[in-house]
Every structure is written in structure tokens, then in C-alpha cells.
Amino acid sequence: MHRQGAAYDAALRKDVLPKARTDFALPPPLYAYMLELHGVDIPPAELARLAHAAFDDLKAQMQKLSLPIAKARNLPSADYRDVIRALKKEQLVGEAILPHYKERLAQIEEIIRKERLVTLPERPARVRLGTAAESAEMPAPRMRPPRLLDNQGEAGEFVLPLSLPGPSDQLRRIDDFTHAAASWTLTAHEARPGHELQFAALVERGVSLARAVFAENSANMEGWALYSEAILLPFMPPEGQLVSLQHRLVRAARGFLDPELQAGKITPAAARAFLEKEVVLSPPLAQSEVERYTFRAPGQATSYFYGFTRLMELRRETESMMGPRFDAQRFHDFVLAQGILPPKLLRGAVIERFVPAQPSP
């Protein structure tokens, strides 16, 4: 095996590497095609323009929200960056992680029922701690979806990263997902009403394979999860709201950094520094983000912002058309029942089928 590995490496260096591109940037038509594959159906420059505007608006909201949080906590600075850094110090470790998230999920489910945001399954959501290996591979809460083909009753799992106490290297440590204030928005995104509920709808409501598998696109999946954070935001405490807006800020930054890196308008080093300073990401997470935009998955990261933007536009359009007939719970249930449709097809379904079918108030 060692000899085979060495021979393979030698072949790569001799025959492949001399023909490889020296720059990460994809040819513009190929990058535009990558965006389209992920459900982003507008030109990269237009995407970047929308994302820049959203980023500036979010920063203003965060700064306004940071003032009362800093005052209540007697923090020396009310700048949103410094407030977030202070909140990050309240890390969840070891045995405290799972009970905290289970309590947070119960609080969110109570809000969903009380405010009639969306219909919840009768069964509880599955939540567990990740193993040390899983946490090393991905140090962020995530949803492990159930299989969609030949499902035998399996449900998705909300997997939490395992964070252990001990000495830490600040240059290598990712502290963005394991502090208490982040649990509100992370639970809403990955569990309910986000991905866990989204995949439950595909499996438990009998959504066709065409809509669940063949129509799959990241703009729908991640747009819904980010939208889920937004509909929960008014009911979060101030600290949870600030971190939720910070996570939305990350998605807006992706919307312009990804295409601008591909277009050569910004360097990887400058993008990394921007994420650390303006978005308050830890150094290793900022590095991981830039790698994602440049060579791991060019274009995919923009789908969160774009899918969320289109879903928010669709909700505003639907509310405007329906007036007092609009019911958020029915709207959300209908959206989930459509499967993972691209934004244009989802809009068509809502306008042509949902709006006319709703009863008068």
C-alpha cells in the first residue's frame, strides 16, 4: 500500500500538476453555472450587490441591539464586535452541552406552538452529542438527515459538537458555535423549525422523490433554515437576537466574498481578515470559510443568503396579496410540503395554488 501510494503521488506530480491551474478562480461561465446548480439564478455581480446592501443593514441592526446588552452586562464597549466577543466567553463544555440544548429546543417548540408558526410532529426531535471524531471533523451543530430513499421510519438527528475543558490555542480554537447565546439560532436552524422539520416533512408527509431528491437545491434547504432563524428571532432574548443577526451577517458576507474572490476583486488574506474583524469569526473558522469559497465548494455558500432573500420576498408578496387571509402557519406548512423546489418553482406553487385556496378570515 505504501508503494502504491508513493507511485500515485509521483504520477500526480509528473502528469497532472504541470497541467493544473495556478489560481483557484473558476472561469466566469463555470462559476455562474456552479451558482445555478445550488439554486442561485442571478448573475454573480447582482448577487454581490444585494449581499453588500444586506450586510450594511444587518450591521446597523446589530449595533443598535448591542447598546442595551452592553449596558445590562456592564461591558466596557458597546461595539457589536466587542459584545459578541464577550458573549463568546460563556462557553458550554462537557456534560452541560446536551441538557442546555434540550432545554433550548423545548423553549423554541413552546414558542412555535404558542405563536402558531408551523405544525410540529407529535414525536420529539432527536438530539445527541457528537463523538470526538465527529466534533473534530465538523465543530458545529448540524443535522444528520434521514435517508430519503427507502426510508423505514428513520428520523434526522440534531448532532451537537463535543467541547471538552482544557488548555486551548486561541489561533486554532473555534469558539463560534459553543457559547450559550448561539444556541437559540443554531437550534432554530438545525433542529426546529429548520432542517429537522424540513426533512421530517419530506419523509413523514409523503413528499414525492421528484420534489425531495431530484429537485434538491441548496438555496431552498439553507434558505428555509436561515428563514427559520428569522421567524424565531423576535422571541429570543437580546443576546440570542444579536448572535442570530451575526449568523445572518455571515451569510450576507458569503454572498459577496464568494463571487468577489472568484472575480479577483479581493484576496483570500483580505477576505479572511474581513471575516475576523467585521463578522467576529474565530481565525480557524474564517480560514475555513475562505477555503470554502475558493476551492472546497465555490458558489455553494452564497445559497444561504439567496434562498433566504427569495423566501422573505415571497412571504412579503404573499402577505400583500392575501391581506387578512394570510396565516403564517398555513404558509409555512405549504412551503414545507412542496419539497426542495428551486425558488422560482416554489413561488409559482405559492402564488398559483396556496393563495387562491386559502379561506376568508
SS3 assignment, position 91: strand
**Average pLDDT score over residue span 204-208:** 85
Task: Compute, in degrees rounded to 10, the torsion defined by CA atoms 133, 136, 139, 143.
Answer: -30
Rounded to two decimals, the pTM is: 0.92
Confirm whether 260 is domain-assigned.
yes
Residue 224 CB neighbours (<10 A) = 24
Q: Per residue in 72-83, pLDDT tens? A: 999 999 999 999
* Reported confidence tier of residue 134, pLDDT bands at 50, 70, 90: confident
CA 260 to CA 304: how far, in whole Å? 17
Confirm whether 173 is domain-assigned.
yes
Confirm whether 319 is domain-assigned.
no
Query: Considering only CA atoms, which of 122, 159, 169 is closest in space to residue 284?
Result: 169
Confirm whether 81 is domain-assigned.
yes
> Which pLDDT score, from 0 to 100, does residue 359 have?
83
Confirm whether 9 is domain-assigned.
no
Evaluate whether 222 touches 304 at the Cβ level (below 8 Å).
yes
Confirm whether 99 is domain-assigned.
yes
> Which pLDDT score, from 0 to 100, does residue 173 have?
74
Q: Which domain holds residue 111?
A: 32-308
Evaluate whether 58 touches 87 at the Cβ level (below 8 Å).
no
**Average pLDDT score over residue span 189-215:** 90
- Mean pLDDT, the chain, rounded, equals 93
CA 114 to CA 118: how far, in whole Å? 10
Q: Per residue in 270-323, pLDDT tens? A: 999 999 999 999 999 999 999 999 999 999 999 999 999 999 999 999 999 999
CA 322 to CA 320: how far, in whole Å? 6
Confirm whether 23 is domain-assigned.
no
* Reported confidence tier of residue 130, pLDDT bands at 50, 70, 90: confident
* Reported confidence tier of residue 165, pLDDT bands at 50, 70, 90: low
pLDDT of residue 360 exceeding 60: yes
In the chain, the number of structural domains is: 1
**Average pLDDT score over residue span 196-207:** 89
Q: Per residue in 210-240, pLDDT tens? A: 888 888 899 999 999 999 999 999 999 999 9
- The residue that leads in pLDDT, 6 or 201, is 6
- The residue that leads in pLDDT, 170 or 243, is 243
pLDDT of residue 171 exceeding 50: no
Report percent pLDDT > 90 for the chain: 79
pLDDT of residue 260 exceeding 80: yes
Confirm whether 315 is domain-assigned.
no
* Reported confidence tier of residue 95, pLDDT bands at 50, 70, 90: confident
Q: Per residue in 15-65, pLDDT tens? A: 999 998 889 999 999 999 999 999 999 999 999 999 999 999 999 999 999
* Reported confidence tier of residue 4, pLDDT bands at 50, 70, 90: very high
The partner residues of 181 in beta bridges, in order of sequence, read none
- Judged by average pLDDT, the poorest of 64-68, 274-278, 335-339, 356-360 is 356-360
pLDDT of residue 248 exceeding 80: yes
pLDDT of residue 164 exceeding 70: no
CA 112, 115, 118, 122 torsion-angle sign: positive
CA 342 to CA 40: how far, in whole Å? 9
CA 163 to CA 223: how far, in whole Å? 28
> Which pLDDT score, from 0 to 100, does residue 180 have?
94
> Which pLDDT score, from 0 to 100, does residue 131 have?
86
pLDDT of residue 137 exceeding 60: yes
